[in-house]
Each structure stands twice: as structure tokens, then as C-alpha cells.
Structure 1
């Protein structure tokens, strides 16, 4: 399946710079939902597209309704596994907002010559991930396309007073990342036969891992901000927190967890087109506090598929969160802290 697509997973996303420009143009034309006059005066938009958060949120009859959508090209050649990963990736946005998934709709783009058993396997894998998350699959939509893609539209719910956004990080908070980085380069290496299935396996295991536990612990220990690290890379999603929270995020490069083989692949020139697309608009906002090679720098711009949560949490919450995540097999790490100052990423 990976041979039928021009990109793998979230590496296919539009870059953050182009996306921000596009959203600005839509806003200028009056196309953002926050301007709608709802029939119910208590209904309103809590989180819209302006902050590039993980999902949109509406206040409806006292409940926060969380809506998101995500679909991706294949990251592996096992149909059921790809279905599970694509669904897990889409559902993660609800967890990143502090919510719980309620239902999902399949989004399917299938080549006309794709074998029926491949399509059935993908849908079965997606359904299994939804069942594990407690979300009902209510239907969906399918079209013919030259490149195979699959994902979900997901609706979840949460307490409007306990939502996570990418706007609330506070000076003194510590930063936790719940999964390792580097899946973009590994998927691309596999696609171009520079990495075998065994080399890709550690990344696939993490892509299948739900962010439900990380979100549950973040709620318990009072996280002030959260996002999931996906197509914009760690730097892109961290910058959104810094910019919207009006703070500096200091990231300890040596503390960043990475997938085995990532640095060897990038040293050999294997990366993704999205890595450069992520790097260019972020360059003015990322300050490298010590010299790092291009190979090293690629880690923070590498696009992740079904990546981990980036959490800003009080110092007292760090140890219990990391301990609980470690006990459930997560490769989580404390990677930095939030400090006062004009919005910036400082990579130590």
C-alpha cells in the first residue's frame, strides 16, 4: 500500500505556513464559523480555527462538543494495522482537547483497482480502534481516488471547564512528551525500501498506541495546555502553544526521545518533504541555543503520524505522570519547561 502513495501518514499534510495563509484568506471572506448567529443563545464556539488547535469545540447545552477530522495515506502495508493507526491518529485530537470520543464517520479514498480484502481490512482495523476508544462508527463516505487514504471524522465531548487548548501554558510549567519522535523519516525510508519491516516496527507500535492514558493523567494532574504532535512536527505544535500562550518554551534537545535508526537515516539524507515545509515558516521562531547538525535539527521538524501528547503541567505532576506512563509501556519524557518572555522556542 505504501507504494501507491506519494507521501506517508501525516507527512502528506499542508505545511503550517501555507495553512495559516489559507485560513487567513477564508477568515477575510467571512468563512469562519465563529461568526454564525446560533438559534440557541447559549450555543457558542469555544475553540475555532484561529489558534490552529487540534479540534474545534462548541458549547452546546452545557457540554463541550469536540469535532475533528483526519485522514492519511498508508504508513505500512498491513491493511488492518493501517486502519488502526489512521483511526488512532484521528481520535487522538479529541484526547488532546481533554475530551472523550463519542462517535466517528469513516473517510475513505480508495483506488478503483484496490482489492476488496484490502479495503475490508482497513475498515476493520479502523473499527477496532474506535471500539477500543469507546466510539461508535455510524457510517462514513467513500470515493475513488488514485491514492489510497483513510481516516475519520470524530465527535467527542468533555467538560467545558476542563478543556485542554494550546493557549494555557504558564511560566513554571514543565513539558512532557508522551511518545518518541522520528516516525516521518522511518515511514519514508520504508516506502523507498531503505528500511525493512523490522526497522519500522518500533514506530508502528507507537503509532498504534492510544493517547487516552496520557490525556487522563494530564486531566488528573492539572495540565494547563496540551496538543498532540503530528504533521507539523514537535517544533510546529510547540510553537502553537508558545504563540497562543504568549510564553517561551525551552526544550532540552538531549531529553527528546527518538525512534531507533532515525539519526542514521537522516544522516544518509532520508527525510520527508514535510520536514522542510515545517522548518521554513518556523525558522524565525526557533532559537537554537547551541549548534546542532542538520541531522539533529530534523528531529524537531519531522512530521509525526499518531504522535504523542505535548503537555504543559505543574512541576508536582511530572513524576506521577511519567511513572504511570512508564508502567503502561509509554516512552514518555520530561523535555523542558515554560518560561516568561515573548513567544519563542528555545532548543537547548
Structure 2
């Protein structure tokens, strides 16, 4: 009897995340220990935890892993690592060490695992960090990611909820990667769209973070599995609202057509269910709505920056080579948290 074939790529990346509503329900039941040195914990809905060690040093800690979303193991390793490392950059930190997290079927070719780890290591090295070990278990499906530790000055943390009224919102990578990958699963994505998605997902947010570090940034997050609108909603909290100019949203061009053809993800619909009631769309086409709800894997940074700094920062970000834009601004609180026009 022949062995059952193990499929490497089913549906992965940040589309595999649990829905935001489910997570909020579970986390609300976990007791929160009071520790004055825990500057950011899970109650902040932020990108990473921050723990103060001294007056001028804090550690930033995060982890992220998921199933493959591309067929090439090396590229998958790169994407998974870039995605995990991104949380450190979203907090304004510097990457120091990383640990591999591996789930791998015992019947699968170990050369595939080797390629995944090589891909991941290439991004840790590019980040200036050191791969220091990890942990692996046997599983029916492949999963890979990193636990990452970085450092930051306690007074220079870029929390996701520090935005102020009037801040301009900068987005450093295009949206639509989840839709493109869904179309690719059905063999319908163009080579150009797939290449754009891979290029975006394998690009470290290190370089955008370095640009932003030269300006007064009040709040920052990376756009991943909860999609642009849910991550934006977490940034503005209950104190402010945001206006988004959909004509300025950078996206992978073919994603618009794929969304209109309903190459969508369940995770995108979970995002719509979670935050859709807080959003007012004004003359926005269906495909743009879907792009804004679309779960991103290793997505860009979304930063709230002083209006007087926005144009200068944007010009420098554009030199990095990825589509980016000033997509909106923070406003006084309105009935709906987010207006998209």
C-alpha cells in the first residue's frame, strides 16, 4: 500500500490565524499579573511584549509561526521569518536573537525542512540578529516561525495605540497579498502578481522602520492577519477616529480583479465580521473593501506621524522600492470609528 501523500502547501500564512473576536474572548478571561516593569503585555493588543530591565534598556519579545502559503520551502522560510521579525520593528526595536519554531511530518523529506530553515536564517542574518536555537515537534502538517528577542529604550517604544489627532497614516507595503495567494491556490494568479506578493512578503520592515525612526512617530503597527482595518481600529482605540482615502491605498494591482472574482479567504471574512460595523464606506467598490479586510502575511508598517513630517518620510520610504503611501489621517471621534471614502 502506498503512503498517503503529504501536501506541503495547503493554505497558510496569516490567513491561518484565529479570528480577532475569538482571541479577544479567550484573552479577556486570563488574569493579568501586575508588574510595573511589563510596559506592554497581551492586554494592549500590541505587536510584541516589552519588559523593562533598567532605566535605559528594555527587551522586546514576540513569536509567530504558521503553515506554508507558497510552494517553495526556502521562500516560505524567508516569509515566515520576515513576518515574525516585523513585530520587533513595529515596536521600534532592534533584533538581537531568534529561535526556530518547527512542526514537521516525519514522513516528509528532511531536505524540505533544511530549505525552510535556511530561508529563515537568511532573514535573521539580514536583520542583524543571531539564530540561537529552537524547538521542533512531529506534526501532520508543516508549520514554521520564530520567537524573536530585541531591545529598545523604554522611552522610545512605538506602541500601536499612541496616535494623536491630526497624525498622517503612512502605509509602507501594498495590500492584497492574501487575495493573490488565494487566487494562486486556484492556479489563477498571474506570474507578475505572485512575484509582487512574494517580493513584498520577503522584504524586511527593518528598512521602513529605519526611515521612520528619524521622525516623530506617535503610533505604529504591522498589518498582518487581521487586515488593514482591524489593525487600524486597534491603533485608534476608542478615543479617535480615522479617515482613509481609498484612492491612495497601495495594493497589488491584480488583487482588485481577483477580489471581484471572489478569490477571497475565510480570514478576510472573519475580519469583516469583527470590525465591519465600525467602518463607514462611502462610494468604495467591493474589491477595495475586500483589500482593506484582506489578511496580510508579512505586511507593511502602518504609522501615525506628525503632518509636517509626512511628506519627507514618504519620499524616503518610496526609495525603498515598494508601493507605499499616505493613506489617511487621525481625526476627532465620530460615530463610526473609520470612514473610508
TM-score (norm 2): 0.94
Is 1:321 aligned to 2:313, yes or no?
Answer: yes
Deviations 1:250-281 (A, max 9, x none): 11111101112101111111110101110102
Aligned to 1:147: 141
Listed one character per residue, the Cα deviations across residues 131-167 of structure 1 (whole Å, up to 9, x for unaligned) are: 0101111100111112211100001011111110111
1:292 matches 2:284? yes
Where 1:210 maps in the other structure, the secondary structure is: coil
CA distance in 2, matches of 1:340, 1:108: 45
What is residue 186 of structure 2 aligned with on the other side? 192
Deviation at 1:198, TM superposition (A): 4.2
Q: CA deviation at 1:197?
A: 4.3
Residue in 1 aligned with 2:37?
A: 44
1:15 aligns with 2:19: yes
State the 1:2 CA deviation: 11
Q: Tell me by how many angstroms 1:332 deviates.
A: 1.1
In terms of mean alpha carbon deviation, does 188-197 or 112-121 score higher?
A: 188-197
Instruction: Pick from 249, 261, 264 the counterpart of residue 256 of structure 1.
Output: 249
The Cα shift of 1:177 comes to 0.2
Q: Alignment partner for residue 115 of structure 1, among 88, 109, 133?
A: 109
SS in 2 for 1:91: helix
What is the aligned counterpart of 1:125 among 119, 124, 131? Answer: 119
**Count of residues in correspondence between the two structures:** 335
Offset of residue 190 of structure 1: 1.3
Using the TM superposition, give the Cα deviation of residue 95 of structure 1 relative to its aligned residue in structure 2, in angstroms. 0.2
Could you tell me how far apart the structure 2 residues matched to 1:201 and 1:5 are?
A: 17
Where 2:201 maps in the other structure, the secondary structure is helix
Q: CA deviation at 1:287?
A: 1.6
Retained in 1: the 8 A contact 2:9–2:71?
A: no
8 Å CA contact 2:15–2:178 kept in 1: the answer is yes
1:61 CA displacement: 2.1
- Residue 18 to residue 264, structure 1, CA distance change in 2 (3 Å): same
CA change 1:198–1:341 in 2 (3 A) is closer
Q: 1:78 aligns with which of 49, 56, 72?
A: 72
- Would you say the 8 A contact 1:8–1:184 is kept in 2? no
1:8–1:188 contact (8 Å) kept in structure 2: no
Work out whether 1:35 is the aligned partner of 2:34: yes
Native 8 Å contact 1:202 1:260 kept in 2 = no
Report the Cα offset of residue 320 of structure 1.
Answer: 1.6
Cα distance in 2 for residues equivalent to 1:110 and 1:190: 23
Mapped to 1, the partners of 2:180 and 2:108 lie a distance apart of 25
Structure with the higher fraction of residues in helix conformation: 1
Against the structure 1 CA distance between its residues 2 and 187, is the aligned structure 2 distance closer, same or farther, given a 3 Å change threshold?
farther
Question: How much has 1:294 moved relative to structure 2?
Answer: 2.9
- The Cα offsets for residues 14-56 of structure 1, whole Å up to 9 and x where unpaired, read as 1111111111022xxx2x3x435xxxxxx61100111210001
Give TM-score scaled by structure 1 length.
0.92
Q: Which residues of 2 match residues 1-348 of structure 1 at below 5 A? A: 3-26=7-30, 30=31, 32=32, 34-35=33-34, 44-62=37-55, 63-243=57-237, 246-288=239-281, 290-342=282-334, 344-348=337-341
Distance 2:25 2:208 in 1: 32
Root-mean-square deviation (CA), in Å? 1.7
Give yes or no for contact 2:227–2:294 (8 Å, CA) kept in 1: yes
Task: Please tell me whether the aligned partners of residues 175 and 251 of structure 2 are also in contact (alpha carbons under 8 angstroms).
Answer: yes
Deviation at 1:196, TM superposition (A): 4.9
Distance 2:176 2:106 in 1: 32
